Amino acid sequence: MPSDISGTEIIEENVSYGQKAFKFVRGPIFGNIILADEINRTPPKTQAALLEAMQEHRVTAAGKRTCSMSHSLSLPHKTRSSRKGLIRSPRRSSTVSCSIYGSSIRPSRKRLISSNLPQALTPGTSQGARRDEIIAFQELIRRVPVADTVVRYAVQLVARNTAEGRALAAIYKRLAHMGAGPRASQYLILGAKTRAILSGRYNPDVDDVRSMAVPVLRHRIIPNFNAEADGVTAVSIVEKLLANI
């Protein structure tokens, strides 16, 4: 239910004053990094609560006199989820920035996993970065300058997979049912900035945009029946677009 994600209100009694009042108990969405699993099994209202938190960084819960009250989430706030590769037409969300594929498990790791029973494993975590460090990194990325030519390249790349740009890309017109929107070019630039900084450069170039094209665009492009008949995936369509621009 939505309250399982966002939180719920309980009646709490004040022993000193003998009065009862509602108290909001925060749900797991109030963490900084959230891993959501089995989202497709949840009802629409629960998905709406999750999307509100992802997009607006706040949750809405019932308050006094049944009025809705908003509770802000602390930053940074990122939600991640797993997705089965068998889904042919993925649900798209404007709040999803990138789609990252995990590498296949090596045979040696498979043997190790099979030999260890879940009851015998002791999970552990280690801190990689503090909350204030992550916020500082995010602010740094926003201040990275980007040349106009790089911005134009990202916009042109996204435009070629939209209804307006299909005349420029016959390959896309034949294979894709739906493409990315303007938000995709924003995430292309942000990804290019991040890649440049991680590589020790002060600003991104066109190659950074091209490197981010697949993870940013593949979950935004839905192949049509022609593509499915030919065995063409969204990744293949992105690669064809990159080859023709």
Instruction: Say yes or no to pLDDT of 26 above 80.
Output: yes
Q: Is 192 exposed, middle or buried (0-12, 13-18, 19+ CB in 10 A)?
A: buried
Structural domains of the chain in order of their starting residue, each with its CATH number: 1-82 (3.40.50.300), 130-245 (1.10.8.80)
Instruction: Say yes or no to pLDDT of 149 above 90.
Output: yes
Q: How far is CA 85 from CA 39, 82, 88, 99, 102, in A?
A: 15, 10, 8, 12, 11
Q: Is the pLDDT higher at 19 or at 103?
A: 19
Lowest-confidence segment of 14-23, 76-85, 164-173 by average pLDDT = 164-173
- pLDDT for the residue numbered 245: 78
Quick check: bond before 204 cis, omega within 30?
Answer: no
Report pLDDT digits (tens) over 217-244.
888 887 778 777 778 788 888 888 888 7
d(CA 177, CA 171): 12
Average pLDDT, the chain: 78
What would the mean pLDDT of 98-117 be, rounded to a whole number? Answer: 75
Q: Which residues contact 50 (CB under 8 A, 6 or more apart)?
A: 5, 29, 36, 39, 42, 79
Report pLDDT digits (tens) over 77-103.
888 877 765 444 444 555 667 777 766
- DSSP of 41-75: GS-HHHHHHHHHHHHHSEEEEE-GGG-EEEEEPPS
